[in-house]
Structure 1
Amino acid sequence: MTSSVELTLLIVYALSFYLFIIHRSLQIARDHYAKLYGLRSGWIFHRFNDVSDAQWRNFRGNLMILTLVFGIFTLVATSCRKYGLKAKGMSVVWLMVSLVYLTYLHGACVLYILSIASANFLLVKICGRTKFVFLLWIFNLTFLICNRVYEGYPFSLFGQNWAYLDNYRGTFRWHICFNFVILRMISFGYDYHWANYSNRFDKEKHIQRCSNCSSGRTCYQLLQERSLENGKFSFTIYLCYLIYAPLYIAGPIVSFNAFASQLDTPQKTHSLKKVVWYGLRWVFSLMLMESMTHFFYYNAFAISGTWKYLSPLDIFIIGY
């Protein structure tokens, strides 16, 4: 059998498989939607929308404020750079805007974020220049587990005098977003450690081998791997890195070195065309997610327990 025939058979198989999955998913959604939790009136063909997942529901509900925040950030960034603000100045601006944004999201729970972040900063400054940097992992993993076990720590745990703050916990669960913050805290700690203890990255050899760097531009790997001067590891830049609003909820995660380097000079690796194309891909992904939650109620089946009464084939489709 030739490779072209094999490819044709694989394509036919894949199309048949997914067409069947889509057909059956639509059928079970139509037959059982009345028994499902978390369905709301939708905007696509007047179908119900599956918003049973808390993270997706929160993200979708705050999409307008997210868009507004990103617009403000773009405007502020352009304005500040015209006045020649560098890393420390830019970090103060970002920090102020991000704190306003976090207060809207988490309300009084911002106190938890700032407290844990401050403790981590002190730990890094104490242990970062030693071989005991592994304590950073223990500290962060401990809080990662405790945050979930105690569901973000009700203020009533600390006494009834603080219980009233539980009425001001914002619109988004802080301990869910804090998973990304923990990754950033670890990144800060290890970048500080490697800057002061050991760094095997050969900058000159990298520039010779990298097409971007050899042409005068700076690639992301160089931003990420090269060590920064100690002045960049300040508390202001650190806190700005942790809660930088455009990357706060969904990332992507960047290393502290790369983030701090780009406070001075914006990235030049990706052209405007690539950035626009990335934006279009994001819009397509959003529309795809909206379509799936309007037509296929997979998560609603899972949390409603209705899947228990379905056939093995239907359970496979929902799980798949």
Structure 2
Amino acid sequence: MSLKNRAGGAVSPAMDVNGSPTSAEIPLLPRTGRPSRGRTEKTEKSQPRWLTLEFLLYYVVIAVGLPALFICAWGFSSANHINYYQYSRKLGKGWLLGRRVDNSDAQYASFRNNIPLLSYVLVGHILLSNVVQRQIPSLRPLFSLIFSLIFLSVIHGSSVIKILVLAAVNYAVAKYVGGRLGVALSWIWSLGVLFANNAYDGYKFASLSQDLAWLDKYKGINMRWWITFNFTTLRMISFAMDYYWQTNGGRDKSKYEQTHRQTCSECSSATHPGEQCSKSRIETPLSASSYNLLNYYTYLLYVPLYLAGPIITFNDFTAQLRHPPKSITMKSTLLYAVRWILVVLCMEWILHTIYVVAIKDTKAWGGFTPFQMSMVGYFNLKLIWLKLLIIWRYFRLWAMADRIETTENMTRCMSDNYSAIEFWRSWHRSFNRWLVRYVYIPLGGQRYYALNIFPTFTFVAVWHDISLKLLTWGWLVAIFILPELALRKSFATPQFRAKLGGWYRMLKGIAAVLNIWLMMIANLVGFAVGVDGVREMMRQIIFGEGGTVFLVCSFVAVFAAVQLMFELREEEKRRGWKK
């Protein structure tokens, strides 16, 4: 099995007077005009537009455009298409609709092919863990660690020793060097390990001593242990910084609890740290004795979250390990399992009908029209979103079954985003929150926002993969965010809205369309068709036959979709929903 994703970066923390980060809820890409803590946001509820003539026209556009997307993709995925022979070798034997399946995405194929094996492990782990939690709950950390070591020994073989040693160095630095120097060294060590792992492909025991060469024979199921170790580096840094804030005063608990408990139903009824809300579990330091070696390794190697996350902080995890939260129930876990199954079935249907991954991998887009090229790009991005949703939800479900609450990584559909700022708040949300707590705020937070996004996204790119393509993606994302930020600061004001009246929403819609195009270009370069694919797509649009018509039709369709997104946001406000 190989589930790939990554992060790192050296930092000197900047803190408030209590020694803790100023806020764990300031988004990496902040909302404009967000009220300060302690104030209530006063917003006027708008009148619904769903049944207006304007929106009926949008419905017509969507009703025509949406089927056209699938018809186009089905067309060039047909066995009768002239380019089919170029990528057909990438297709496997399917089980749905009598069609072949495009299981050529290595990351998802690794997960998809191993779902039965992972599910056996899941059931065994949950059964044993529940027995321990009911009979001898004090031994839960030890049981979890033993199970993790057995699991990692199977999938990584003797390389589990390397993981333990690398993590032990970080623990020693955080605990026995301590202070700001300990935090800085933890970051340096974690980043250094990322680069060294990549450079030496996980090292060989024989390179240390020929007497240890025999250990290299025990490779396990997944020899590339350093791919999943990227998540471990995030946990190593989390432990080091949470411990630093605990030893340097942490949050003023009495002041925090006095203001927070009045508004938080979970915290007001909590009798143990684990029963508090997620924000309180993250921000409130644990007792000094909790930052011990057993809890550290249990946190780092926790099986349900080890391979792909979601990411959880040391404070949050350890608080729940001792006292499971009340928010997780049998009903909520079963409903979440049903949702996961439905998403998997949706993915299977797409993989059996639209072969864009195979087309992208073989660059079998010769002769495609601008519309067809754009569909190759769009559906590749959609499948990336869908596969990550499936993988993250599976492991989140596993943690829920073990009574550990984590963040939902995908809080909004990829196609329901018009803002780059909001997009990155709802994509890999647990990583976003990690970045906020351990990178964005220590670098100065919103005060230096325009400067912070470049080192932050450079860090994100390096964490995912140390390659020029990912660095290009990170810098493009940072650059494309700046125009939106400038427009928000200049025009997203009550005065400007009042001056333009109804035209404000139209101008905002035009800006949103341009923003979506820019976001698609950046993500196509980083995670889908790459620079060559985007170059060919742009060439077709600018110089290809029908490029101008496609551009106009695309603008109209995306504009209609954006207006529906605006109204969905208003509906969420009217119903009091928060995403």
Matched, 1:211 2:265: yes
| Residue segments in structure 1 that go unaligned for 5+ positions in a row | none
Checking the alignment, whether the CA contact within 8 Å between 1:220 and 1:269 is kept in structure 2 is no
Report deviation, 1:93. Answer: 0.6
Matched, 1:186 2:240: no
Output the amino acid matched with 1:39. L
Choose between structure 1 and 2: higher helix proportion: 1
Change (3 A) 1:271 1:152: same
Report deviation, 1:7. Answer: 2.6
Report deviation, 1:14. Answer: 3.0
Output the amino acid matched with 2:170. N
Change (3 A) 1:163 1:14: farther
Change (3 A) 1:111 1:272: same
The aligned counterpart of 2:130 is: 78
Identity %: 33
Output the amino acid matched with 1:100. I
Output the amino acid matched with 1:212. E
Change (3 A) 1:264 1:312: same
Output the amino acid matched with 1:186. I
Report deviation, 1:62. Answer: 1.5
Checking the alignment, whether the CA contact within 8 Å between 1:155 and 1:163 is kept in structure 2 is yes
| Residue segments in structure 2 that go unaligned for 5+ positions in a row | 1-47, 379-579
The aligned counterpart of 1:11 is: 59
Alignment match of 2:312 (pick from 254, 261, 284)? 254
Distance (Å, rounded) in 2 between the aligned partners of 1:309 and 1:175: 40
Distance (Å, rounded) in 1 between the aligned partners of 2:64 and 2:215: 55
Matched, 1:55 2:107: yes
User: CA offsets per residue over residues 189-217 of structure 1, 9 Å max, x none?
Assistant: 11111111132352343222212211345
Distance (Å, rounded) in 1 between the aligned partners of 2:90 and 2:314: 39
Change (3 A) 1:298 1:157: farther
Distance (Å, rounded) in 2 between the aligned partners of 1:174 and 1:115: 14
Moved more, 142-151 or 181-190: 142-151
User: CA offsets per residue over residues 216-271 of structure 1, 9 Å max, x none?
Assistant: 45222222221111221111211111111111122111111111111112121233
Alignment of 1:162-241 (within 5 A): 167-172=217-222, 173-200=224-251, 202-216=256-270, 217-241=275-299
The aligned counterpart of 2:86 is: 35
Report deviation, 1:308. Answer: 4.9
Report deviation, 1:153. Answer: 3.4
Distance (Å, rounded) in 1 between the aligned partners of 2:201 and 2:363: 23
Distance (Å, rounded) in 2 between the aligned partners of 1:156 and 1:39: 39
Change (3 A) 1:124 1:307: farther
Distance (Å, rounded) in 2 between the aligned partners of 1:155 and 1:284: 44
Report deviation, 1:91. Answer: 1.4
Report deviation, 1:126. Answer: 2.9
User: CA offsets per residue over residues 95-149 of structure 1, 9 Å max, x none?
Assistant: 1111121122222322222221111111211343345512322221222233234
Matched, 1:139 2:189: yes
Distance (Å, rounded) in 2 between the aligned partners of 1:282 and 1:9: 34
Distance (Å, rounded) in 2 between the aligned partners of 1:10 and 1:128: 59
Output the amino acid matched with 1:190. M
Matched, 1:128 2:178: yes
Secondary structure of the 2:325 match is: coil
Matched, 1:150 2:150: no
Question: Which of 1 and 2 has higher RCO (CA within 8 Å, sep 6+)?
Answer: 1
Give the CA RMSD over aligned residues.
2.4
The aligned counterpart of 2:357 is: 299
Distance (Å, rounded) in 2 between the aligned partners of 1:27 and 1:150: 44
Alignment match of 1:243 (pick from 295, 298, 301)? 301
TM-score (norm: length of structure 1): 0.89
Distance (Å, rounded) in 1 between the aligned partners of 2:58 and 2:297: 50
TM-score (norm: length of structure 2): 0.51
Alignment of 1:271-310 (within 5 A): 271-308=329-366, 310=368
Distance (Å, rounded) in 2 between the aligned partners of 1:233 and 1:29: 54
Distance (Å, rounded) in 1 between the aligned partners of 2:116 and 2:362: 29
User: CA offsets per residue over residues 6-48 of structure 1, 9 Å max, x none?
Assistant: 3333333334333111111111111244322532111112322
Change (3 A) 1:151 1:193: same
The aligned counterpart of 2:445 is: none
The aligned counterpart of 1:20 is: 68
Moved more, 146-155 or 242-251: 146-155
Secondary structure of the 1:209 match is: coil
Output the amino acid matched with 2:290. K
Checking the alignment, whether the CA contact within 8 Å between 1:228 and 1:257 is kept in structure 2 is yes
